[in-house]
């Protein structure tokens, strides 16, 4: 029986693992499977990434090059050649699922990658999608593509959805210690999926279908997006009332039950939380449903960068200065503290809004030496060294990401004006504006 033989190969580690998409999700998976004794092949369309990996060089800050070299020693190789898929047993898709300019799901990376797999699909293959998406994607997009090969899903080949749960830069949770949700298209698919992941992950949570697994991922991140939207709205109200929202949150967090602290910021960043709610709201319209609560939170979070800029403009006006022509240094352009991850970073939108209004924009980020090439954004800039002399020459410092490496005490001493979007400063000072 195909399923039984495949599970046996997975369990005795004679199966070959293929990871498609070698970014913040895919690369840790590669390393984990290689670490526990599997032969692993990594596939990516970015030749530069492939070359760096094969040379033992990491392009993700929190993954050391030494660890890449150790993975190579196990027999790992990276390639852009999809023909190697015929030799692989387990195919794990970890490709981007962004939004298009209309804030609608862009599944082109998923569908294009699947289309590239199909010519090499053979009996005994299992395909697991990890990319965040709307409920129904696996059945509506991947299933018909696999069936177009003439192979039967559930008996000859197997289809699984298992959402990624990576938190880049978080030392408390690793790929192996974060519980893994697994849902298969059929019961047989689920058994195969469980076999794949239970080798590498400490705890497996099996759900009844791929749709359930897809919705689980959305709920996790929509929960965060809605609560961040709530606290961002509370920040605006508190600001108008002359109250420090961060002091309020610290006080509320002392309640030992019934309260979870969420923190406001200049907008939402990362590969999931700014995007996932729109995947569900888009799909819900197919069922004649309006997800008003989710959309309202999205509207609040999306508008935060403009609110921050308005606070900056008011602060400059109070000092008889204009934003147009002002020298602004954005502190931190990664989407979260102490990482180099730029995906959906609100700092980028802040920089674009500042340029639109005529400000002279530069940035400083100890984790991003040169502004990277991005799908929709482009700045020809390198990180400014935040020395006292450099800090003093800017009209405004905008704290967008509160990296630990920054010298906030020196900033306060040297800066003409600081716009603090992260609650770094708890004290009141003439040159600090909370936003």
Residues identified as active-site: 272
What is the distance between the alpha carbons of residues 176 and 203, in angstroms, rounded to a whole number? 8
In sequence order, the β-bridge partners of residue 396 are 328
155 membership: H or E segment, kind and range = none
What is the distance between the alpha carbons of residues 163 and 133, in angstroms, rounded to a whole number? 9
Contacts of residue 270, defined as CB under 8 A and 6 or more positions apart, other chains included, come to 335, 336, 341, 343, 344
Residue pair 81/7 in contact (Cβ under 8 Å)? The answer is no
CA trace torsion 251, 309, 282, 23 (10° rounding): -80
What is the distance between the alpha carbons of residues 253 and 258, in angstroms, rounded to a whole number? 10
**What is the β-pairing status of strands 158-161 and 180-184?**
antiparallel
**How far apart, in Å, are the Cα atoms of 302 and each of 86, 157, 231, 307, 420?**
44, 42, 13, 10, 18
Residue 119 per-residue DSSP state: G
Residue pair 137/214 in contact (Cβ under 8 Å)? The answer is yes
Please report where in the chains the tokens 């060089």 appear, as a residue.
Answer: 57
Residue 252 CB coordination number (10 Å): 11
Residue pair 42/22 in contact (Cβ under 8 Å)? The answer is yes
191 membership: H or E segment, kind and range = helix 187-198
Residue pair 348/335 in contact (Cβ under 8 Å)? The answer is no
What is the distance between the alpha carbons of residues 101 and 52, in angstroms, rounded to a whole number? 31
């Amino acid at each position: 029986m195909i399923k039984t033989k495949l599970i046996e190969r997975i369990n005795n580690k004679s199966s070959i693992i293929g990871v498609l998409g070698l970014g913040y999700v895919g690369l840790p998976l590669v390393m984990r499977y290689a670490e526990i004794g599997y032969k692993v092949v990594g596939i990516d369309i970015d030749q530069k990434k492939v070359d760096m990996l094969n040379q033992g060089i990491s392009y993700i800050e929190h993954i050391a090059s030494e660890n890449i070299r150790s993975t190579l020693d196990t027999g790992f190789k990276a390639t852009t050649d999809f023909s190697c898929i015929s030799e692989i047993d387990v195919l794990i898709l970890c490709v981007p699922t962004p939004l298009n300019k209309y804030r609608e799901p862009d599944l082109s990376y998923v569908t294009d990658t699947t289309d590239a797999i199909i010519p090499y699909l053979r009996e005994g293959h299992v395909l697991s999608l990890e990319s965040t998406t709307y409920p129904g994607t696996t059945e509506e997009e991947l299933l018909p593509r696999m069936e177009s090969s003439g192979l039967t899903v559930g008996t000859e080949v197997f289809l699984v959805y298992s959402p990624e749960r990576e938190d880049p830069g978080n030392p408390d949770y690793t790929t192996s210690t974060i519980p893994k949700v697994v849902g298969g298209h059929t019961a047989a698919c689920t058994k195969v999926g469980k076999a794949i992941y239970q080798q590498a992950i400490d705890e497996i949570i099996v759900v009844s279908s791929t749709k359930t697994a897809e919705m689980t991922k959305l709920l996790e991140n929509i929960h965060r997006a809605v609560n961040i939207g709530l606290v961002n709205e509370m920040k605006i109200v508190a600001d108008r009332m002359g109250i420090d929202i961060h002091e309020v949150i610290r006080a509320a967090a002392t309640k030992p039950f019934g309260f979870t602290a969420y923190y406001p910021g200049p907008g939402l960043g990362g590969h999931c939380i700014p995007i996932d709610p729109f995947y569900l709201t888009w799909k819900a319209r197919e069922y004649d449903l309006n997800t008003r609560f989710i959309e309202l939170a999205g509207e609040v979070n999306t508008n935060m960068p403009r609110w921050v800029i308005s606070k900056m403009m008011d602060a400059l006006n109070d000092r008889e200065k204009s934003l147009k022509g002002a020298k602004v240094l954005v502190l931190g352009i990664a989407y979260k503290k102490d990482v180099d991850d730029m995906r959906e970073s609100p700092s980028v939108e802040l920089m674009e809004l500042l340029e639109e209004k005529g400000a002279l924009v530069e940035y400083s980020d100890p984790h991003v030496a040169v502004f990277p090439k991005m799908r929709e954004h482009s700045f020809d800039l390198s990180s400014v060294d935040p020395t006292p002399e450099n800090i003093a020459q800017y009209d405004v410092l905008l704290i967008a990401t509160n990296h630990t490496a920054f010298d906030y005490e020196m900033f306060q001493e040297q800066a003409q004006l600081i716009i603090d979007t992260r609650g770094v400063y708890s004290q009141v000072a003439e040159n600090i504006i909370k936003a």
